[in-house]
A and B are shown apart, each in its own frame.
Chain A
Amino acid sequence: MKLLKLVPDDTNFRFLKWRNIAMAFSILTIIASIGLVAAKGLNFGVDFIGGQMIQATFTETETAPITELRESVGALGYGEATIQRFGDANEVSIRMRLPAEAESRPEAANEMTEKIVAAIKADHPDVRIDGVESVSGKVSSELFETGAYSLLFAIIAISIYIWIRFEWQFGVGALFALVHDVALTFGLFALTQMEFNLNIVAALLTIIGYSLNDTIVVFDRIRENLKKYRKMDIIGLLDLSVNETLARTVMTSLTMLIALGALILSGPDVIFGFSVAMFFGVFVGTYSSIYMAAPILIWLKVGPDTFVPAEQDNPAAEKVGGPEQIG
């Protein structure tokens, strides 16, 4: 049986030749992402800014009458509603700010829901209310805070772990790669204006975990090769390490993308944003392992002496099938 090989044996791409251009590109995309977030803002869900979301399905209509809904809900005098398609064309989410008095009188939020639902039902008897979420300003600001802290702690804790398991240069490399991944995902959500809610924070944390997975596999091979080939120059050694792990990188990314593709195409609507964020994260995570985490090691002067002091003879050196000269 002939097995499939996506990546041919002994690839010899000189990935790091492009490191300066790649780094400039990465920094540019990070700045662009921050700019996008600043200019367009994130489309925060009720989790983070408070307010109310009603999910509704129009069971006998093919497309939900969004413009008409906007008018009829707007006429109730609770301010403007954010109405978006949600999943299928006949499903919508209606987001509203809570009325100001709701902070002191919680029934006010309830009354608003009932009025909106009644208004929609009057025009469209076929509507089915699928869910109501209502988050007060206080709770939403707490959720916002804990979400931000969890991202920050995850990035720091993981970088420290890498520092302990490898060396400080690797920790810095991992840190930059993670900042890159998180920043770009934020940029994606600012650009597309998809709803940014608690699920997306979960996706970001998973992206951090996945991207690290990738970075660690590359780092682990760099460490191994640094001990093995003590005479090789660092750029050649990084290229060798990336090439050696390339088959695995491609395979794993593909299996992840297959699983996530299934979620995007036929998964539940509620986690559509989550799946898209993860799908995107697999790409940027793979890229950042090669073009953010690795080049930083060069600039931070990682060499053969990083793991094994110079005067020691290296017992781990291998004789089997040495590498062809690279770069």
Chain B
Amino acid sequence: MLDFPRWKVISISLLLAFGVLMSIPSLLGENGRQYWPSFLPNETINLGLDLQGGSHILLEADPADVATARLETMEESVRAEMRRAEPRIGIGDISRRDGVLSFMVRDSTQVDAARDAIVPLTTGAGLTGQRDWDIEVRDDTRFVLTPTAAGLESAVENAMETATDVIRRRIDEMGTREPTIIRQGDNRIVVQVPGLDDPEALKALLGQTAKLEFKLVDFEADPNMVAAGRAPVGSQIFPYPDNPSGLPNIAVKRLGGISGDKLTDAGQGFDQQTNAPVVNITFDSEGGAKFARLTQNNVGRPFAIILDGQVLSAPNINEPILGGSAQISGNFSVESANQLAIALRSGALPVELKIVEERTVGPDLGKDSIDKGTIAAIIGTVAVLTFMVVTYGRFGMYANIALALNLFIIIGVMAMFNATLTLPGIAGFVLTVGSAVDANVLINERIREERKRGRRVIQAIEVGYKEASRAILDANVTNVIAGVLLFMFGSGPVKGFAVVLMIGIISSVFTAVVVTRMFVALWARRARPQELII
């Protein structure tokens, strides 16, 4: 027992000093940190959203939406390829029912040519040569394209990757600090934005797909048919909530429109005549050329500006717009125009995202939680410390020093890993105070017992530590098992609790067993006690 080599004392002390050092930046708080020398470690604990206020939003995409969008793109590609072929291949009876694309080649002699043109469309990008679609020819002339499972999977994967990037760009544009955006599972994205003033704006921005299209209005369509939602041949019906004519819908030409994804910039502005908020957009060179062509050929006719399947406005083309920039009018407020500008700048989402979970905490509640949690932690700790000294005297004092070091180490380790402290995490702290002394209680009770059985002081201490260690180990392993399961299955704040609990368990075994043992050994060597007050 008395044999506690110097190297052990030094390495334990260094480890403790390191733990305490790591914890200081987190304890200093924002104001104190400016006086902290920069050459020392300056990692701090993150405060969870439930403590600093902010929004946690879980977005989910429906893989079926990706499949539908992919089918549409495939149809367009097939049409384009068939048109481009020399000689042109006539097709008809195109359908996208039941998740497959099918069409007829009018001239049966062209079936082979059609197949050759389609094959390149059906293999995935990249080197794997993975087949994304199965091609089947039925009754000699009917082509059926079925998406493969692997192809669909990689399409969902790509869509989610792109969606995550788009979401990140949008949130960065909002100018919030330190957002966390991570993919979760196959089709979900977690967005965490701390300290937000206006969660509604964030949700509106995330929920917007921002798919912009310009299509020519079919002004020859029969208004009654349009109102009833029936489209003339070659046209489509879109809802138009702010239609000045009062009709709920408008008919636009299927073909000849352009999409709004070829933008280099978008910004909120005001209409020069009406002074109403508008969104100004600038096309890239390709988009600009297309837009110029569209406006040149259709002067005097209206075209519809369609956002996410809804018509915003349908202005007349008064003159060709050649400069590559355009103005989107609609029933905007300054905020909603600004929001749309952000969404357009960051690109359209490849798939619609739905908010399936939202947790927003106001900054006042978070501050209240920190204050109350700190008070509870102080009261609990002081009471436990007092209780330990009253019960075990010198050994209780040692246990208390170990407990204090333990708390510093937990903070230090959490800071080192940039772990997040949540509200349940504070509860974890308080619980650690209650349970960390358990190891010392076990040891001290055992020493009492061994003394009672007539062992001499040094021997009693020795046996006490040795015999108690076994139960301490078993008890802590089961706690770690519970902690690991908490971490695996818990979500958000509960994970934070599990982290504190597990770090606390490991560091408390170190401080309560190893560190107190060092204290006791150093004391016993110096004092050579014949009697033990415990």
Contact = CB atoms under 8 A, between A and B. Distances in A.
A176 B267 CA distance: 66
Interface stretch (A34-42, A74-82, A135-143, A183-191): A135-143
Given A217-B471, A252-B441, A254-B387, A267 B489 contact: no
Nearest to A217: B471
A262 interface: yes
Contacts of B435: 210, 213, 252, 255-256
B308 to A, nearest CB: 12
B360 A131 contact: yes
Contact of B365 (A131, A162, A263, A275): A131
B483 interface: yes
A305 B288 CA distance: 90
A107 B470 contact: no
B438 A139 contact: no
B365 A110 contact: no
Nearest to A248: B445
Given A139-B356, A150-B488, A263-B427, A321 B475 contact: no
State which size class the interface on B falls in.
35 or more
Contact of B491 (A4, A143, A158, A162): A143
B159 interface: no
Does more than half of chain B's interface fall in helix, strand or loop, or is it mixed?
Answer: helix
Interface string A235-274: 0000000001101100110111111111101111111001
Interface in A186-228: 198-199, 201-202, 205-206, 208-210, 212-213, 216-217, 220-221, 224
Interface stretch (B63-71, B228-236, B276-284, B368-376): B368-376
B427 A154 contact: no
B383 A212 contact: no
Contact of A146 (B361, B372, B489, B533): B489
B482 A262 contact: no
B323 interface: no
B387 A260 contact: no
A255 B477 contact: no
A11 to B, nearest CB: 12
A106 B438 CA distance: 49
Contact of B354 (A106, A131, A161, A213): A106
Contacts of A106: 207, 354-356
A259 to B, nearest CB: 4
Contact of B357 (A114, A139, A157, A217): A139
B482 A259 contact: no
Contacts of B430: 259-260, 262-263, 267
Contacts of A220: 470-471, 474
A9 B449 CA distance: 9
Given A252-B437, A255-B437, A268 B489 contact: no
A259 B438 CA distance: 13
A267 B427 CA distance: 9
Interface in B357-405: 357-362, 364-365, 368-369, 372-373, 375-377, 379-381, 383-384, 387-388, 390-393
A109 B489 contact: no
A132 interface: yes
A132 B202 CA distance: 14
Contacts of B375: 266-267
B200 interface: yes
B216 interface: no
B400 to A, nearest CB: 11
Interface string B467-502: 100110011011101110110111101100110010
A131 B481 contact: no
Contacts of B377: 262
A154 B482 contact: yes
Interface stretch (B30-38, B74-82, B339-347, B452-460): B452-460
Of the listed residues A1, A208, A258, the one surrounded by the most CB atoms of chain B closer than 10 A to its CB is A258
Contact of B485 (A5, A6, A154): A154
B50 interface: yes
A262 B452 contact: no
A3 interface: yes
A278 interface: yes
B84 interface: no
Nearest to A254: B387
B467 A274 contact: no
A147 B368 CA distance: 28
Contacts of B156: none
Nearest to A128: B364
B486 A202 contact: yes
Contacts of A320: 453-455
Given A199-B424, A271-B427, A3 B354 contact: no
A138 B445 CA distance: 51
A266 B379 contact: yes
Contacts of B376: 262-263, 265-268
Given A161-B477, A161-B478, A266 B372 contact: yes
B373 A268 contact: yes
Given A143-B491, A216-B474, A268 B360 contact: no
A278 B380 CA distance: 15
A132 B358 contact: yes
Given A3-B390, A266-B372, A205 B380 contact: no
A130 B383 contact: no
B427 A258 contact: no
Of the listed residues A10, A251, A275, the one surrounded by the most CB atoms of chain B closer than 10 A to its CB is A251
Interface string A3-18: 1111001100000000
A165 B474 contact: yes
B489 A147 contact: yes
A259 B434 contact: yes
Nearest to A159: B478
A153 interface: yes
Contacts of B355: 106, 109-110, 134, 136
Interface in B419-466: 423-424, 426-427, 430-431, 433-435, 437-438, 441-442, 445, 448-449, 452-455
A4 B479 contact: no
A270 B423 contact: yes
B203 interface: yes
A251 B441 contact: yes
A130 B445 contact: no
Contacts of B485: 150, 153-154, 157, 205
B434 A201 contact: no
A265 B380 CA distance: 11
A19 B454 CA distance: 33
A292 B60 CA distance: 46
Given A269-B369, A320-B455, 6 more contacts: A132-B359, A157-B481, A202-B497, A247-B448, A256-B431, A262-B430
14 contacts: A106-B354, A106-B356, A154-B481, A198-B493, A206-B482, A220-B474, A248-B441, A251-B391, A260-B430, A267-B373, A267-B376, A270-B369, A320-B453, A320-B454
The 3 closest A-B pairs by CB, nearest first: A321-B453, A259-B434, A150-B489
